[in-house]
């Protein structure tokens, strides 16, 4: 295959490091995943990133020109300097200049962005944004935590210091459970996989959720997916957990819709599989809480695209969205 241009993308996760070569579309030329060697420290992890980038560069640079390298990392990330700040699950990385560390190893500059911003960027260019012909959107990514990304007029919105997109820490319940960020009642403590597990355990402890109790007895380390499967089978306790997810998401999105008045809001990440379980409550919250949603969407058929309507939809791209965004960013942003 002869290619004109290609890019290399890296997605730095707490569990896996994923690296891909890419030349457009929604497929990679090649992708690999290796465990993130967190215990060996940040230098070992960056060494792994650099050696994979070099290997892809050697493989593909004979047949195409490298547009650039894109790197996605969990936030908070300080930009443009490229310094990581107090990442949960990354002990010893606070204050680490990831940009400098990687650029000095591979001998070229890189495009650096927060993973949730890159997922939103990919969804905007290749997923729902493309499908609906919309280039401004807000996306919540529901995984172990809750991230968000903002794309305005086709560009990632980073904010003053790169930290736009910590909407997972918006408060939905002032006296709610403590979050890893230090606040109480963040949307993340309800609408994440860990939030689902926590709420299920609370219902079990309350003694009023026989289905969840049976699940925990047979599988003590049950996952959010297990709770979703139980909810899909009709269990009332498990369904209540996802009502809470929808409520928290609805409260957050109602505020974002009223503030931003964007045409598109996307819910992505692993929990998107549970869309049918949480979205009815989410839409009920939007209808009762968001003035702008009501003004734009009241009384009209919500199927299909309409201009001047607020779209709230599940992501089209799956768990690879962040890596796709990391690959896409250099191809879109690099000077020709
Ligand atoms: Zn928080």
Cα(133) to centroid(ligand 1), Å: 33
Q: What is the pLDDT of residues 251-269, one digit of tens each?
A: 999 999 999 999 999 999 9
Q: What is the pLDDT of residues 17-47, one digit of tens each?
A: 999 999 999 999 999 999 999 999 999 999 9
Q: What is the pLDDT of residues 119-172, one digit of tens each?
A: 999 999 999 999 999 999 999 999 888 999 999 999 999 999 998 988 999 999
Q: What is the pLDDT of residues 89-112, one digit of tens each?
A: 788 999 999 999 999 999 999 999
Cα(229) to centroid(ligand 1), Å: 27
pLDDT, residue 307, reads: 63
Mean pLDDT of 222-244: 98
Cα(188) to centroid(ligand 1), Å: 6
Cα(74) to centroid(ligand 1), Å: 14
From 9, 45, 14, select the one nearest 28 (Cα to Cα): 9
Q: Indicate if the pLDDT at residue 308 is higher than 90.
A: no
pLDDT, residue 165, reads: 86
Q: Indicate if the pLDDT at residue 309 is higher than 60.
A: yes
């Amino acid at each position: 295959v002869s290619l004109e241009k290609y890019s290399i993308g890296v997605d730095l996760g707490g569990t896996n490091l994923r690296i891909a070569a890419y030349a457009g579309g929604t497929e990679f030329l090649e992708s690999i995943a290796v465990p993130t060697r967190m215990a060996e420290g940040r230098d070992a992890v960056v060494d792994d990133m650099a050696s994979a980038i070099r290997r892809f560069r050697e493989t593909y640079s004979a047949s195409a020109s490298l547009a650039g390298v894109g790197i996605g990392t969990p936030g908070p990330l300080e930009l443009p300097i490229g310094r990581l700040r107090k990442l949960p699950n990354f002990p010893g990385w606070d204050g680490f200049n990831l940009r400098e560390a990687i650029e000095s190893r591979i001998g070229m500059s890189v495009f650096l962005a927060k993973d949730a911003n890159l997922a939103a960027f990919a969804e905007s260019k290749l997923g729902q944004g493309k499908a609906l012909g919309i280039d401004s959107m807000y996306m919540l990514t529901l995984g172990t935590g809750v991230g968000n990304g903002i794309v305005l007029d086709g560009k990632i919105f980073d904010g003053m210091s790169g930290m736009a997109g910590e909407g997972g820490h918006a408060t939905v319940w002032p006296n709610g459970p403590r979050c890893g960020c230090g606040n109480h009642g963040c949307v993340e403590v309800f609408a994440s996989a860990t939030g689902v597990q926590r709420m299920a355990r609370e219902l079990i402890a309350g003694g009023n959720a026989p289905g969840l109790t049976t699940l925990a007895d047979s599988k003590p380390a049950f996952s959010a997916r297990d709770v979703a499967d139980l909810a899909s089978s009709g269990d009332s306790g498990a369904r209540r957990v996802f009502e809470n997810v929808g409520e928290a998401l609805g409260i957050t999105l109602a505020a974002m819709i009223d503030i931003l008045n964007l045409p598109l809001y996307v819910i992505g990440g692993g929990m998107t599989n549970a869309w049918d379980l949480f979205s009815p409550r989410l839409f009920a919250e939007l209808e009762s809480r968001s003035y702008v949603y009501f003004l734009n969407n009241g009384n009209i058929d919500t199927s299909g695209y309409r201009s001047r309507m607020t779209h709230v939809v599940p992501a089209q791209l799956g768990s690879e969205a962040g890596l796709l965004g990391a690959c896409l960013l250099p191809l879109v942003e690099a000077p020709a």
